[in-house]
Structure 1
């Protein structure tokens, strides 16, 4: 039986590519969450007026990779201390966010963040939004598997490449063989 995690850490192309590296991850779908408009388009989300975050929805096997381990990867590959910004991307749609699916996930992510803050893991305070998942809207087809379909895209090479390398270097035992 699989479980789902919904995470926003900047551009979904880059986070999707990094999470696909992990053993136990069955699928990663790029999409939108946290906004007020039904069935938003990419253009609408980019306007900043819908309130949505670019997210990935990770379907995973909790027997192989745990929610805690997914959070560890998530908080390693993006900067949870920058409000509405990741790398070159600026806007509310790029905010750091965890959309939990149930009370258990809520408790896990709140404890995880508390532990990071207690350990002074970052120089600045964590601004990651922790909210219940309302509706997840799947992004347009051309956004799915974007890095795989466009491996020479300059944006992806510059931004997804380092995230993938971090996953391989820091979580090598959890990377698909």
Structure 2
């Protein structure tokens, strides 16, 4: 088994980002909270750090799912709190993620606002607000924002969804 890799992702609300990535095969752990980058170490924004097995899910698929499940081409007034970003942990990961993001940027007809940044600091959220989706799958917030993202993922990346985990928590995703 390959050693787990880490990458940070920011986009929308960290409850949504955490819920999406905690629902995927190959994601062994999700830390949810706030991340800062080396260019702005004092500026924290909502994000997650995922610990993933690259033999099960590739960085390419992780970044494609990330871009698909948040406003990666929208520069809105809440962008400071919800920075669209990929936080990397080294030069090799920076180069690989840069190539992947560039590829997706060329394929889309919209300019990506997603930033590629070096990770600096992580501040974990308090326990009562972590694993939000799996501890409250029937909450209105989850039904309104996370369930539709998982339905979209099932249509485009069904093989990556951990349907067994979702079922265990009573979460039904419409068949594709």
What's the TM-score, normalizing by structure 1? Answer: 0.82
Structural mapping, 1:77-156, within 5 Å: 77-84=69-76, 90-119=78-107, 121-122=108-109, 124-156=110-142
Residue 148 of structure 2 corresponds to 162
The answer to whether the Cα contact below 8 Å between 1:83 and 1:95 also exists between their aligned partners in 2 is no
Change (3 A) 1:169 1:133: same
Could you list the runs of 5+ residues in structure 1 that have no partner in the other structure?
A: 38-50
Cα shift at 1:21: 1.7
Residue 51 of structure 2 corresponds to 59
Residues in 1 aligned to 2:128 and 2:76: alpha-carbon distance in whole angstroms? 24
RMSD: 1.6
Residues 23-58 of structure 1, C-alpha deviations (whole Å, 9 max, x = no match): 111011111111645xxxxxxxxxxxxx21111111
What's the TM-score, normalizing by structure 2? Answer: 0.82
Residues 122-162 of structure 1, C-alpha deviations (whole Å, 9 max, x = no match): 4x311112110001121111221111122222222111111
How many residue pairs get matched?
158
Secondary structure at the counterpart of residue 135 of structure 1:
strand
Change (3 A) 1:112 1:174: same
Residues in 2 aligned to 1:175 and 1:79: alpha-carbon distance in whole angstroms? 21
Cα shift at 1:117: 2.2
The answer to whether the Cα contact below 8 Å between 2:41 and 2:120 also exists between their aligned partners in 1 is no
The answer to whether the Cα contact below 8 Å between 2:41 and 2:121 also exists between their aligned partners in 1 is no
